[in-house]
Amino acid sequence: MKTATPGHQAHHQFDDAERAAVYRNILARRDVRGQFLPEPVADDMLARILTAAHFAPSVGFMQPWSFVLVRDQAVKQRVHDAFTLANAEAAQMFEGKQREVYSGLRLQGILEAPINLCITCDRDRAGPVVIGRTHIKAMDLYSSVCAVQNLWLAARAEGLGVGWVSIFRQSAIREILSLPERVMAVAYLCIGHVSHFFDQPELQTAGWRQRLPLDELVHFDGWGGEHADAESLRAELRAAQALAARGLPPL
């Protein structure tokens, strides 16, 4: 296998400013819950972030996603009711201090966000046999999640906030949005302009969980495996994560 020369790298690599913008976008992305403004999202901006989602990678190029836009307040209210019911059930699954913290968390912006968007997965879109999904049937669902991430990053670049709401029963969303049986709701997103973005994820600030050390999550040639050069990479990982924790691109 040929090793890429520095010339090849320079030809394919973005310049420093472009790379910094990509990493800054990733590091600045947040799950937005309570900062939505009533200002509408312009159609051209909405078109751009939906296009970004549509250009996500998909196994077998099956493009299993569809996008259900929700602007009607009555539909939002039904979704909010479904969330409220499930959220009360979820609170009972935690105990002691965790239940207290959970009950104080803001976990959605369904009614406040100008746009709600359900990204779905049509599991039959490319037929019964799909390249790359022959042995792992969930690859279509994973592909749809790539569309979610593309949209989320594009929205952050546009200055839009996105919040992923996952606390409701699938059957409730299917009924409210009249989804066909073959279509699964993968992500229900709240989208809109926001008053501000938090410096750190809200669950981290609330003490729910902290970001795990990346250098402890990397294995070599198998789970738990090590390598002679492992410490060199782990040092680079620690340095990159330290920069990222301060919102600085790990360049």
Looking at CATH, the fold of the domain delimited by 29-209 is given as NADH Oxidase (3.40.109)
pLDDT at position 9, please? 67
Pick from 114, 152, 146, 165: nearest CA to 29: 152
**Contact (Cβ atoms closer than 8 angstroms) between residue 66 and residue 178:** no
- Predicted TM-score (pTM) of this structure: 0.92
Q: How far apart are CA 150 and CA 23, in angstroms?
A: 14
Q: How far apart are CA 90 and CA 211, in angstroms?
A: 23
Determine what percent of the chain falls in helix, strand and coil, rounding each to the nearest 5.
45, 15, 40
Per-residue model confidence as pLDDT tens for the chain (251 residues) = 344 556 666 789 999 999 999 999 999 999 999 999 999 999 999 999 999 999 999 999 999 999 999 999 999 999 999 999 999 999 999 999 999 999 999 999 999 999 999 999 999 999 999 999 999 999 999 999 999 999 999 999 999 999 999 999 999 999 999 999 999 999 999 999 999 999 999 999 999 999 999 999 999 999 999 999 899 999 999 999 999 999 998 87
Tokens of 114: 């100008």
**Contact (Cβ atoms closer than 8 angstroms) between residue 75 and residue 173:** no
**Contact (Cβ atoms closer than 8 angstroms) between residue 85 and residue 186:** no
